[in-house]
Chain A
Amino acid sequence: MDVSEKLIFPGQKHETADGGILITKLDDAINWARANSLWPLVFGTSCCAIEMMSAADAKYDWSRFGFEVARATPRQADLIIVAGTIVMKMAPVLKRLYDQMADPKYVIAMGACTISGGPFFYNTYSVVKGVDHVIPVDVYVPGCPPRPEALLHGMIALQEKIKNEHYFGKKAEKDK
């Protein structure tokens, strides 16, 4: 998807004498609003978090895509980027954070550790072998750690996923 396309409101414009009328689908309007304002939770457990912070800074600037309002509380967050190794002791904490987030909520698994347990720590007693053993994952971003560009790509992929969700009508029935 072209980034410039994302900024355009989905629907048809009809010019009138004193302004205009916009016709759109409720699903599209909701998804547009949700996808372009995803508030990530401040959460990072190891080196991937450094790359995540770098994606937030002036050079990569994820606020271009609506991610800038990082929240320090799960109750206000839409998205959790699991950035770093999750150990057995952290797993119940992560689960609790995820449970405290309000629906709809999304998860990005960033880096090899969160995808599978990681290249270094895989065969140990202490590491969870993939964060999807604990919480459901929407987008996987491979790398060790992934570059900020890769994370941004994953986040835009998540936006595309959100834009294809259905809340009303026959398609929503099918999704259920």
Chain B
Amino acid sequence: MTNEEIKLFISAHIPAATFDESGEFLNVIIASEELLPIMKELRSNRDLEFDYLFCLTCIDWKDHLMMVYHLLSKKHRHVIVIKAKITDVNDPQIETVCGIWKTAEFHEREVYDLFGVKFINHPDLRRIFLMDDWEGWPLRKNYVDENMIEI
């Protein structure tokens, strides 16, 4: 599918979705609540068949968090980026996608470790790199560490 066809498909499912094609890939910006149904559809639809989640990360924009999912179809050779906006920065939550792509299980644990995003229905959500008793989320902009120098 071309980017235009993918855009039409997503707009049909999520009318509120916005698109950004200024970068390398087609970016689709949606709300965090709309994530799971569209992800399931992107994975299972035979014309899309995004079977490979090759990057999962998060960005802290201070007033909101943005979950970023890079998807690729090995069959159709197309790539998109889904960005899910989480507005509640004090208690960020989003549905897990590890039921769709198993690889997301560790990636989501990493995002939880460093950004504190809670993944609903994740089978084993605990810190992956830092010690279990670590306080705070180091990659959040409001993270305070008295040993670090303010720049």
A105 to B141, CA, bound (A): 43
A residues with a Cβ closer than 8 A to B are 88-89, 123-126, 129
**In whole Å, how far is A137's beta carbon from the nearest beta carbon of chain B?**
19
**Is the contact region of chain A dominated by helix, strand, or loop, or is it mixed?**
loop
Residues of B in contact (CB 8 Å), total 10
Q: A123-B148, A124-B148, A129-B147 are in contact. List 14 more A-B contacts (CB 8 A).
A: A88-B130, A88-B131, A89-B129, A89-B130, A89-B131, A123-B149, A123-B151, A125-B138, A125-B143, A125-B145, A125-B147, A125-B148, A126-B130, A126-B138
Tell me the B108-151 residues at the A interface (CB within 8 Å): 129-131, 138, 143, 145, 147-149, 151
CB neighbours (8 Å) of B145 from chain A are: 125
**Alpha-carbon separation in the docked complex, A88 to B134 (Å):** 10
Judged by DSSP, the binding face of B is loop
What is the number of contacts between chain A and chain B, taking CB atoms within 8 Å?
17
Which A residues are in CB contact (< 8 Å) with B143? 125
Q: How far is the CB of A132 from chain B (nearest CB, A)?
A: 15
**Chain B residues, CB < 8 A from A88:** 130-131
CB distance from B72 to the nearest CB of A (A): 31
Minimum CB distance partner of B145 in chain A: A125
A135 to chain B, nearest CB (A): 18
- Shortest A49–chain B CB gap in Å is 21
Residues of B within 8 A of A126 (CB): 130, 138
When distances are taken between beta carbons in the complex, the residues of chain A under 8 Å from B151 are: 123
Q: Which residue of B lies closest to A92 (CB)?
A: B131
For residue B141, give the distance in angstroms from its CB to the closest CB of chain A.
13
Min C-beta distance of B131 to chain A, whole Å? 6
List, in ascending order, chain A residues with CB within 8 A of B148's CB: 123-125
Specify which chain B residues have a CB less than 8 angstroms from the CB of A124 in the assembled complex: 148
